[in-house]
Amino acid sequence: MNLKRNTHVDYEVKFLHHIPNNGDRRNHEVPNLGLNHWLFVREHNQLSTKLHQLNPCWSNEKVFQEPRRIIIAQVQHIMYNHFLPLVVDYDTMRQFNLFSKTNGFGHVYDDSVDASCLNSFGIAAWRYGHSQIMAEQSELKNDYRTVFEHRVEE
């Protein structure tokens, strides 16, 4: 397996409408979401490199999947400990036991529970997510100090 990093290319960013190209041509429609995707892709690649160095006998698939699991856990931690408490209040989080464990693992997964949801509920959640998109985006100019705002439609 060849995971050599070209340091010049590693720090080179290709921008599409001021947003790094993260493999999805729609990433410029919601710049903050596109940047989040890009951030987690970079984190995955960095973890893959480190894990491959520590475990050179791992297959390509394992070198891909293990960092993927770590990234999923990070996203879940952010969602359940930082985002969701802002959407629903603390009492609701506690009532439904939605907080992540502070240590160890939870063994609450039950594969006999139907995890599907009504399409109307899924659409409502999707619509709620879209309502959180801010109309204006703030950016830094090349001097990394000057902030300017523009509407997402521009």
**Residue pLDDT tens, the chain, 154 long:** 444 444 433 333 444 445 556 666 666 666 677 778 888 989 999 999 999 999 999 999 999 999 999 999 999 889 988 989 998 888 999 998 888 877 877 777 888 988 888 888 778 877 887 777 777 777 777 887 767 777 766 5
Residue 112: inside a domain, yes or no? Answer: no
Q: Is the pTM of this model over 0.75?
A: no
Which residues are part of a known binding site for heme b? 130
Q: Is there a contact between 23 and 14 (Cβ–Cβ < 8 Å)?
A: no
Q: How many domains does the chain have?
A: 1
Domain that holds residue 48: 7-104+132-151
CA distance 138 to 76: 26
Q: Where are the alpha helices (DSSP H) in the chain?
A: 7-10, 31-54, 60-78, 84-87, 90-95, 119-131
Which residues are part of a known binding site? 130
| Closest C-alpha among 74, 72, 52, 73 to residue 62 | 52
